[in-house]
Chains A and B, each alone.
Chain A
């Protein structure tokens, strides 16, 4: 009896999934989809998919930590497929929810969720941070550069570690001042504090400041612009925010990852699960160069970064990943 009941349920859910082109859904993390950084990049990818395919998609912006699982479950119950979660904080809830909805495909961005129906898209941010570290050290005149992180977690230490290693590779004596905005999720959206941390770093001599802090970075880049020094953006290309005072941005192609996931989930697409690792070799992370910062990046700097890129691609240079050892060889 129990068995037949289960079988019926199985048939029902199979029917739901087989409905052609189930609408895809995306959930943004607490920074909000207009954070000009990570979430906005994910949002742009979703918008582009909508325009290119003509299909609609559902989206949800988290307002509090408590909504994380609730939103994910709601989308799964409504039959959305695939469901994309933007942000590493989804890891633990996704592990649970993915088991409960085995016929729904999920996409985790920035974290690995080892389930048969989850595609985990991770970026090798340490490689991209290494590249902007090189640029920072070469652009700095004072020999002191800064880093402002969001929440103090190993994931953000990965950015700072790559940044320090890159900077030290061109100038072994460079001083790197590192600060984290906070230890809770509120640290992703506190530009007042971000600006204050940056001002403190500037008063200690920093003349290039890199942020990996989501919405908090708005204050970092503004403070850098006000003081006439250089900032470095993250996740999205943020060069346009303060033309001429953003040295470059460490770009993660989150939009591409979202676009690809939504397209693969289409009726005609082929959705694959497992880990997708994006780095310098496949263009997943890079530094941005456009008309806003063309004057700030000299040919010499371009050459140094190109050399590092080539070394990373060929395997001669392996940038240390903080998450593998939870320690950084340089501080």
Chain B
């Protein structure tokens, strides 16, 4: 395996990791506060649509991003209202979000743009273009480090950098701030938090809103930050569920989320690059297997290697105040 190949694969991994990572961190906030969220997929899809549609109309990726986050937050509020305020079953509410987002995006898209649920192709400032970091050109001649800096670290769009910055930021928020302590506490023992005079509902709602914002960013990355340059039906293609699996694999920690998402991104990059591998000229590993690998691995990892993944103790349980 040559150095160049490693750079190519890692570069591809970073691009494929970005939406997973944003969605995974989104799920982490929500689930840490005790609200299970199976609706990551739907919120991402709705965010992707909102971002692409508004970017197509306004011509600005930034306004598109805001709209994408707004739409995703709207769905988060629906989920929060059902799961927190009305104390409904969180899984059912999450599934409803997924179904609603898949249907609404195609339906509104068709009525708005008359293009079969797609949005028009975006160009120029309607997309998040690759950012060349300072000195990337100059340093590309430096052996090893130059290539790492100019090919790997430079040349991604702003949302990719945001996703990777969000990891240490989330770790700080969760484990070093008062807000984070309360967030973790409502997920473990909401009764204790309530006794301390803090509103469980408000705390959980804030986590669900953060989840919405991050899912919106993940969706906007898909429609504004990739080569799709617009929205097409079902463009999330199961990434929200992969993020959910990564979250369990990550044991609900930011660092774990980074590693788990990068593993899934890496497997997808491998699957893209090596579509069929011949082993010792004896037999060929078919492309179907390579493309199924991330999913097979999910099952294997979750079943055996992850060790004990303990979810937040009060996850999935609506809080009922004692009277």
Residues of A within 8 A of B (CB): 32-35, 61, 152, 179-180, 182-183, 186, 189-200, 203-204, 215, 218-220, 222-223, 226, 241
Chain B residues 222 to 270 lying within 8 A of chain A, measured CB to CB, are 222, 226-230, 232-235, 237, 269
* Contacts across chains A and B counted by CB atoms under 8 Å: 87
Mostly helix, strand, loop or mixed at chain A's interface? Answer: helix
Chain B residues 101 to 123 lying within 8 A of chain A, measured CB to CB, are 115-118, 121
Q: For B237, what are the chain A residues with a Cβ–Cβ distance below 8 Å?
A: 186, 190, 192-193
From B227, B234, B275, contact of A226 by CB (8 A): B227
**Is the beta-carbon distance between A192 and B226 smaller than 8 angstroms?**
yes
From A61, A152, A190, A196, contact of B12 by CB (8 A): A196
B15 at the interface (CB under 8 A from A): yes
B202 at the interface (CB under 8 A from A): no
- Beyond A189-B233, A200-B8, A203-B11, whether A61 also contacts B116 by CB under 8 A is yes
**Is the beta-carbon distance between A222 and B116 smaller than 8 angstroms?**
no
From A32, A196, A219, contact of B233 by CB (8 A): A32
Q: For B85, what are the chain A residues with a Cβ–Cβ distance below 8 Å?
A: none
B278 at the interface (CB under 8 A from A): no
A87 to B182, CA, bound (A): 56
**Is the beta-carbon distance between B228 and A179 smaller than 8 angstroms?**
no
State how many angstroms separate the Cβ of A64 from the closest Cβ of chain B: 11
**Is the beta-carbon distance between B229 and A183 smaller than 8 angstroms?**
no
- Beyond A183-B288, A200-B12, A222-B121, whether A195 also contacts B228 by CB under 8 A is yes
A241 to B118, CA, bound (A): 15
B287 at the interface (CB under 8 A from A): yes
Q: For B58, what are the chain A residues with a Cβ–Cβ distance below 8 Å?
A: none
Chain B residues 264 to 300 lying within 8 A of chain A, measured CB to CB, are 269, 272-273, 275, 287-288, 291
Q: For B130, what are the chain A residues with a Cβ–Cβ distance below 8 Å?
A: 226
**Is the beta-carbon distance between B291 and A182 smaller than 8 angstroms?**
yes
**Is the beta-carbon distance between B117 and A219 smaller than 8 angstroms?**
no
Chain B residues 1 to 55 lying within 8 A of chain A, measured CB to CB, are 8, 11-12, 15-16
**Is the beta-carbon distance between A189 and B287 smaller than 8 angstroms?**
no
Q: For A200, what are the chain B residues with a Cβ–Cβ distance below 8 Å?
A: 8, 12, 269, 272-273
Closest to B289 in A: A183
A279 to B234, CA, bound (A): 35
**A191-B235, A192-B235, A219-B227 known, 7 other contacts, Cβ within 8 Å:** A179-B275, A191-B229, A192-B226, A193-B237, A195-B228, A204-B8, A219-B226
5 example contacts (A-B, Cβ-Cβ < 8 A) are as follows: A32-B116, A193-B272, A199-B227, A200-B269, A222-B228
- Beyond A152-B287, A180-B287, A218-B121, whether A192 also contacts B227 by CB under 8 A is yes
**Is the beta-carbon distance between B228 and A197 smaller than 8 angstroms?**
no
- Beyond A191-B227, A192-B237, whether A199 also contacts B121 by CB under 8 A is no
From B121, B232, B269, contact of A241 by CB (8 A): B121
A200 to B13, CA, bound (A): 11
State how many angstroms separate the Cβ of B131 from the closest Cβ of chain A: 13
Q: For B222, what are the chain A residues with a Cβ–Cβ distance below 8 Å?
A: 192
From A180, A197, A203, contact of B8 by CB (8 A): A203
Q: Count residues of chain B with CB under 8 A from any CB of chain A.
A: 30
Closest to A183 in B: B288
Q: For B228, what are the chain A residues with a Cβ–Cβ distance below 8 Å?
A: 191-192, 195, 218-219, 222
Closest to A31 in B: B116
**Is the beta-carbon distance between B15 and A196 smaller than 8 angstroms?**
yes
- Beyond A189-B232, A200-B273, whether A194 also contacts B116 by CB under 8 A is no
**Is the beta-carbon distance between A199 and B234 smaller than 8 angstroms?**
no
Closest to B229 in A: A222
A197 to B270, CA, bound (A): 11
Q: For B291, what are the chain A residues with a Cβ–Cβ distance below 8 Å?
A: 182-183
State how many angstroms separate the Cβ of A302 from the closest Cβ of chain B: 29
A54 to B16, CA, bound (A): 49
Q: For A35, what are the chain B residues with a Cβ–Cβ distance below 8 Å?
A: 116
**Is the beta-carbon distance between B234 and A189 smaller than 8 angstroms?**
yes
State how many angstroms separate the Cβ of B247 from the closest Cβ of chain A: 21
Q: For B116, what are the chain A residues with a Cβ–Cβ distance below 8 Å?
A: 32-35, 61
A210 to B121, CA, bound (A): 19
Q: For A190, what are the chain B residues with a Cβ–Cβ distance below 8 Å?
A: 235, 237
From A33, A189, A198, A203, contact of B227 by CB (8 A): A198
Closest to B19 in A: A192
State how many angstroms separate the Cβ of A62 from the closest Cβ of chain B: 11
- Beyond A33-B116, A179-B272, A191-B235, whether A196 also contacts B226 by CB under 8 A is yes
Closest to A226 in B: B227
Closest to B238 in A: A186
A193 to B273, CA, bound (A): 12
Q: For B11, what are the chain A residues with a Cβ–Cβ distance below 8 Å?
A: 203
**Is the beta-carbon distance between B226 and A195 smaller than 8 angstroms?**
yes
A204 to B12, CA, bound (A): 12
**Is the beta-carbon distance between A32 and B117 smaller than 8 angstroms?**
yes
State how many angstroms separate the Cβ of B307 from the closest Cβ of chain A: 32
State how many angstroms separate the Cβ of A143 from the closest Cβ of chain B: 17
A278 to B81, CA, bound (A): 59
From A33, A186, A196, contact of B272 by CB (8 A): A196
